[in-house]
Structure 1
Amino acid sequence: MSVAKPWTCGRPADFAGSVHRKVLLDAARRRDLKITQVTRSLYALGDGLRGHVFVEHAVDTTTHVARLITESKQLTRLCLKRAGIATPVGRSFISTARDAAWTYANRIGLPVVLKPHKGTAGIGVTSNISTRDHFDAAWGAVPRGRRVIVERFVPGKDHRLLVVGDHMICAAIREPASLVGDGRATIAELIQAKNAERASNPYTGAKKMKLTEDMGFRLQQFGMTDESILESGRTYVLHPVANIGAGGESVDVTEHVHPEFARIAVRACKAVPGMLHGGIDLIAEDISEPPDSQDWAVIETNSVPDIALHHFPTRGVPRDAAGALLDHLFGLA
């Protein structure tokens, strides 16, 4: 296992905006690579012998086939199963087959997860569904016209493992959106304060926490609204899905990953044809312990992973993920 080195940010404000592209360009400058800017988002990096073209943080080593596979959760599942990697039991349904999908959910065992067949940023994903009312609300949250995947819920922490070539280089736990009460502020006011706090981080600053339909459903289950006041010290989880775009936070755990989980991440990346590097989403209760001591599953792969997530974790050591990718591409490691 060869992990990305710790990273130091000079001026966080310089990375606001297109944060993934900016950490890659920063890494290129630190390595004296030539930068040829074609447009704002299209650029080439070279060392005089080799060159690679990027669009934002998508690199030319990632094939179109890899993008098509990772954009389809069903195709991703098939590739992972062929590689012998544990994935949650599930299947997809057309958007008008809600009753059949509920019957299937009961057959595979509640709780379940609903997610769109294609999608990114956690949009339309609802986790830990155990009642028909929650199922119906989650079904309505999937973007209209999309096929809906129903899969068994795997308990545990949500991890993003970043793979480059033959190595897992970074790992982070993604925590769900949550609030801590002070006995005075309403939930709406706590969300506003949380967004002000997130704004100082170039990665999370562009991903504001906001109440979704699923969050509203959860509040109703506890007899609350956005005007309710949380008692002092009480932590309330707004969303069961640990997604940064939905207001979640990240914690670097690179140094704590068990070697066997690191190997699983590399296998999962290689299971998708044409993916030199990728983000592997893995559920496990304790990633520092051996996989055979617990339930775990790879739930998704990402062919254009969020590089800056590892440069700007909410807590923990910032990692030079962009630098590790460039070191691999240009033989600098």
Structure 2
Amino acid sequence: MLNAEIIQIEEIEKEETEYEMKEGMKSKLLEEAALERGINVNRLSFDTMILTLEGKELLFCDMNGPLSSAAMMRIVDDKYQARSLIKRERVSVPASTYLRIFEREEIKTFANEIGYPIVLKPNNLSRGQGVYTNIESDASLAYHLDKISELVGDDCERILIEKQFIGDDYRFFVVDGKVLAATKRARANVVGDGVHTVLQLIQAKNEQRALDRDLSHYLIPTERSKLGRLYREGRTLETVPDEGEQIIIRDESNIASGGEGIDYTDIVHDQFNEIAVKAIQSIPGFHYGGVDVIAENITHEPSENNYVVTEVEFSPGALSMFPWEGRPIDMTNPILDFYLKNLDKL
């Protein structure tokens, strides 16, 4: 598969079924699970449908139903507010604040107070857009604020400034007080064979990703502007890694940035599961969702200093259902079971 005729990433055609072009992936997965159980589904739009559970019609958007309120979504999507609630449960969160893009001096002052490196995160973008990590100086901060300003287009928008925690990124999926899946979100990477360049290894990996129903939408980019870590560490797309050498290509760890899920469900330390459940339950009425944790190693016992909960996710992607390594873990049927269990509350 490794040859000069493999086309560049921007030219690779995404393999999508006709259904998935019309309907969102999360919504489609829930629809499929419902139909398999004989549940009536009335599709309304790209991400919205009505499921009829035991004669009761319930409106869903993606995998979120009537017990997932708009007020809850607003709090969860506000990372700073959500962290303030999580912190009340004595769960570690990064030092952070919200400031508007034009408040350059205040941002710089806060960055120096908490100490570099820091992370910048826009408040109104998703899938890792505009998230900048490893900012280690005032000059780098100014440069990345300019980039966010250009991307967001409105300097009155707020951004999150937080202390960077060094570790691996994990996503927990919690339903009704129980962790159903724990997945490491590995950063985009390739493993050398001593023969092929980084570019060729990316292209070969993208051929594998293109065969996956979910990962086919999120191939590893090859534009230099998106490969900050690769070049920062002194490598290029023409570098030939040694056999067995792993090369981390990007700082971002989400799937949309070319990352990959590795199942840790059966080996995660029980106390990390407890932390994930606490994070979800810290939001009043929040029954199921994702919890993002950065930790040195979630198979070891957590301490005050070896992890942080960075955010909770109102509508997490189907990460555990399409792992790069490990067993797939269903998200849809536990959600249907939760609503069937709680029909009397609707």
Alignment match, 2:168: 157
Q: CA deviation at 1:132?
A: 4.2
Segment of structure 1 superposing worse, 175-184 or 137-146:
137-146
State how far apart, in whole Å, the 2-side matches of 1:213 and 1:71 are.
31
Alignment match, 1:309: 319
Is the 8 Å Cα contact of residues 88 and 152 (structure 1) preserved in structure 2? yes
Residue 116 of structure 2 aligns to which amino acid in structure 1?
L
Can you give the 5+ residue segments of structure 1 that lack an aligned partner in the other structure? 1-11
State how far apart, in whole Å, the 2-side matches of 1:155 and 1:127 are.
10
2:337 to 303, 322, 327: 327
Deviations 1:165-214 (A, max 9, x none): 22111111101111223445444443333222111111111112215676
Alignment match, 1:247: 258
Q: Secondary structure at the match of 1:35?
A: strand
Is the 8 Å Cα contact of residues 258 and 287 (structure 1) preserved in structure 2? yes
Q: CA deviation at 1:222?
A: 3.4
Alignment match, 1:3: none
Deviations 1:93-145 (A, max 9, x none): 22123344234223212222221133321111122332445434433443333
Larger RCO: 1 or 2 (CA < 8 Å, sep 6+): 1
1:296 aligns with 2:307: yes
1:180 aligns with 2:191: yes
Q: CA deviation at 1:238?
A: 1.5
1:121 aligns with 2:127: yes
Runs of 4+ more than 6 Å apart: 12-15
State how far apart, in whole Å, the 1-side matches of 2:267 and 2:304 are.
16
1:33 aligns with 2:39: yes
Question: Cα RMSD between the aligned structures?
Answer: 2.6
Is the 8 Å Cα contact of residues 312 and 318 (structure 1) preserved in structure 2? yes
2:110 to 81, 104, 120: 104
Deviations 1:2-53 (A, max 9, x none): xxxxxxxxxx979855332222122212322222233453222223244421
Q: Secondary structure at the match of 2:144?
A: helix
Residue 313 of structure 2 aligns to which amino acid in structure 1?
N
Q: CA deviation at 1:231?
A: 4.4
Alignment match, 1:262: 273
1:210 aligns with 2:221: yes
TM-score normalised by L of structure 1 = 0.85
- Summarize the Cα distance change of 1:15–1:320 in structure 2 as closer, same or farther, 3 Å threshold: farther
Deviations 1:53-107 (A, max 9, x none): 1123332221111111122222222222233322101112221233442342232
Deviations 1:142-175 (A, max 9, x none): 3333322221111222111111122111111101
Q: CA deviation at 1:251?
A: 0.7
Q: CA deviation at 1:257?
A: 2.4
State how far apart, in whole Å, the 2-side matches of 1:246 and 1:60 are.
31
Q: Secondary structure at the match of 2:293?
A: strand
Residue 328 of structure 1 aligns to which amino acid in structure 2?
F
Count the aligned residue pairs: 320
State how far apart, in whole Å, the 1-side matches of 2:19 and 2:309 are.
31
Segment of structure 1 superposing worse, 43-52 or 24-33:
43-52
Q: CA deviation at 1:278?
A: 0.9
1:194 to 194, 205, 215: 205
Deviations 1:266-310 (A, max 9, x none): 22112223422111101122222222375211101111111x211
Is the 8 Å Cα contact of residues 141 and 214 (structure 1) preserved in structure 2? no
Q: Secondary structure at the match of 1:171?
A: strand
Is the 8 Å Cα contact of residues 15 and 202 (structure 1) preserved in structure 2? no
Residue 268 of structure 1 aligns to which amino acid in structure 2?
A
Alignment match, 2:289: 278
State how far apart, in whole Å, the 1-side matches of 2:139 and 2:245 are.
26
TM-score normalised by L of structure 2 = 0.82
Q: Secondary structure at the match of 2:128?
A: coil
- Summarize the Cα distance change of 1:227–1:98 in structure 2 as closer, same or farther, 3 Å threshold: farther
